[in-house]
Amino acid sequence: MRLSIYPILCLLLFLSACGESNESLLEVKNQTDIQVLAGQGVIATHYYTNFDVPTLWGSHLGNSGLDVNALGDVLANRATLVSLFGEDLNYIEKVSVWAYPNDPIAYTNGSLVGTEIFFLDFAEIRAKQEIQLFGNLTVLNDIITEDRMIVEIRLNYRSITPTNMDLRLNMEFSVFEK
């Protein structure tokens, strides 16, 4: 009798997937806008920094009715980079979004340590008005639970930017229980 390893692997995979579900208690949504200028090149990484971006932590927490002591980790869930007027975003190759505590002077001096919260290493080549980003698994309690933060968007292009464009970054964070 010949025993195949595939049913055993499937059974182990099924059993390892069983466990407690970690559903988020609260979803915190946020957005920030940037303007991409026409004619930017493909060699450099282009930085767009927005200071004093409200986290809306207090209003989300107040509307949820949850106890602050019951809340645990805050993680980046998902994000989208959207063209506000429907322009094609095919020229964007790589996106990285960083968050910093709200200290503009330390940020300008380069002494502030940030955290990458969303990323996309290679945007597929096709016509699109929206780019979906992956959330990083870093705990963001020290940044998101403050009143304001600094958001830095880093873009790499695969071709020269065709026109001036207004882009919006829609961010969503998940709050889990302790």
Domains and CATH numbers, the chain: 25-177 (2.60.120)
Q: What is the pTM of this model?
A: 0.83
The 10s digit of each residue's pLDDT in 100-139 is 999 988 988 888 889 999 999 887 887 788 999 999 988 9
Mean pLDDT, residues 28-43 taken together: 93
> Which 3 state secondary structure label does DSSP give 114?
coil
* Count helices and strands in the chain by DSSP H and E runs: 4, 8
Which region among 20-29, 55-64, 68-77, 129-138 has the lowest average model confidence (pLDDT)? 20-29
CB 119 within 8 A of CB 152: no
Give the contacts of 104 (CB within 8 A, at least 6 positions apart). 51, 52, 150
- Rounded Cα distance between 80 and 93, Å, is 14
Residue 20 has pLDDT above 70, yes or no: no
